[in-house]
Structure 1
């Protein structure tokens, strides 16, 4: 298939591009480079030993999207493009609604114009809000607690309503848990601009000395060691989940919401200790007060994805830590 990846030079999209191309698909990367770097393209081409099509553009530009879809004879879209920092979404909600919801509408219109009705949407477990029970399955109520989560849920709902209005659409909404790690080559990985919002890249930057120490927000939760528990999934497992999602849509119409996680929880301190052990580094940290909006625990029930996508995670916490350090230590030199 010819597949368009919006936000194509971003963290998860770039790893998914590797998996898709190795499977024989042709990909076109579409990105405005607001949260990524054009150097990712060169690194991808080095990993894959082939040229990759890239279009610099914004998903709010529906005309450019339509032109791209037509010229590259696109069969399916994976929609990664969007802003994703929870704190930033609270500070600037309008920017998030414009980009994440408006961008999704712009893309869908371009797809409709070109008769393309197959899409995998990059969503998030943040649509569930505070867990009412664990592990989280797809039947859990959706009740986001921040603008970022609402933008993901609104985009999900738009796609759901679209599938009802036109049953010929094939839509997979993939609700990610906590993607970490990097490609085994060390050539691509998570590279947030500024101070990282996510735990793993923050740990890695402390390990390189770029940041002084890790702040652990609270150690008095009712968890194994008092720190928050999360479901960390290796980015390559997640990338393979997108391939599985596309394969599923080949012979399924309608709208499907699917959790992508391991089903295992890891605390902040457990992740930190695993990183230290596997990479033989020391991570200075300090315990500070709880952070507003942090749930004590959040992890997936991935059985639905295991069943309908024939997909399971394969990579360990240790490999997540090892690959993250290989990426961080090589590109930060």
Structure 2
């Protein structure tokens, strides 16, 4: 298939492009601005990854987040007819729960970013119901590894601290908050599996997560893998902090997806090798 990929040069996008090529698909990189009307692309499918995605930033400028994440999706959909459409969304659309979250769990976005993604999800689902496209939404949990450079993410920040490229990190609360982590390569594989299962006129949603771990687990694993101490400043818990956000990915696994690189130690080791100073290989103890 010829597949238009928005955000193709980004962290997740680069991995998705490589995975598409491995499986014999032809990625087409989007150079059009999402804020402007799209020309109709001559493709079989679209994987829509381009988005504004900083949670804290979204509280400061919610209007621009809706403009980019909802308005951009709308502009893209207007140009489509008969294609498969895959939307990258987020696990933060869900109401927090101590139990693993399924695709039918209640949505209750906790930030303007998450709310804008929930609105985009609804938009593509209604477009699919009309028969205009085939829609698949992938709700990504905490993507990590692969040389990520966004040090607002906990694993990336902790590894950067160990590497000495950032001065330290702040942890709010006691470090027991649990999140679900998944390697970027496994995310890319999920998009290809979902692409091949998508059909015009249908709408599906899949969770993409693999390994639940607390912040303390992440810090301990980073120190074990790198042999270095992570400098942490412990801060009081932020009101409203979500204690647990874990994915039940059994629906995606039923399509044949299997995370192969998402054990916590493997994610950390891969990030360390990609970002540590020198040869790219971290020191041993």
Give the Cα–Cα distance (whole angstroms) in 2 for the partners of residues 276 and 248 of structure 1.
Answer: 40
Question: Which residue in the other structure is 2:116 paired with?
Answer: 151
Displacement of 1:279 in angstroms is 2.4
Displacement of 1:259 in angstroms is 0.6
Question: Which residue in the other structure is 2:165 paired with?
Answer: 210
Displacement of 1:261 in angstroms is 0.8
* Correspondence 1:175 to 2:175: no
Give the Cα–Cα distance (whole angstroms) in 2 for the partners of residues 305 and 275 of structure 1.
Answer: 29
**CA contact 1:123–1:176 (8 Å) conserved in 2:** yes
Q: 1:197 pairs with 144, 152, 168, which one?
A: 152
Structure 1 unmatched runs, 5+: 31-54, 183-188, 220-225
* Correspondence 1:265 to 2:212: yes
Q: Secondary structure at the match of 1:108?
A: helix
Displacement of 1:83 in angstroms is 0.4
Question: Which residue in the other structure is 1:33 paired with?
Answer: none
Cα distance per residue 1:103-135 (max 9 Å; x no partner): 000000112xxx34211100011111333x511
Displacement of 1:191 in angstroms is 2.1
Give the Cα–Cα distance (whole angstroms) in 1 for the partners of residues 184 and 130 of structure 2.
Answer: 34
Runs of 4+ in structure 1 off by over 6 angstroms are none
**CA contact 2:43–2:83 (8 Å) conserved in 1:** no
Question: Which residue in the other structure is 1:44 paired with?
Answer: none
**CA contact 2:145–2:270 (8 Å) conserved in 1:** yes
**CA contact 1:12–1:235 (8 Å) conserved in 2:** yes
Q: Secondary structure at the match of 2:79?
A: helix
Q: Trace 1:38-187 onto structure 2 (pairs within 5 A).
A: 55=31, 57-62=32-37, 65-66=38-39, 69=41, 73-111=42-80, 115-131=81-97, 133-166=98-131, 169-182=133-146
Question: Which residue in the other structure is 2:283 paired with?
Answer: none
* Cα RMSD for the two superposed structures: 1.9
Summarize the Cα distance change of 1:116–1:191 in structure 2 as closer, same or farther, 3 Å threshold: farther
Q: Trace 1:8-19 onto structure 2 (pairs within 5 A).
A: 8-19=8-19
Give the Cα–Cα distance (whole angstroms) in 2 for the partners of residues 277 and 18 of structure 1.
Answer: 31
Displacement of 1:290 in angstroms is 1.0
The structure with the greater share of residues assigned to helix is 1
Choose 281-290 or 12-21, whichever is displaced more: 281-290
Count how many residue pairs are aligned between Structure 1 and Structure 2.
279
* Correspondence 1:275 to 2:248: no
Question: What's the TM-score once normalised by structure 1's chain length?
Answer: 0.79
Q: Secondary structure at the match of 1:273?
A: helix
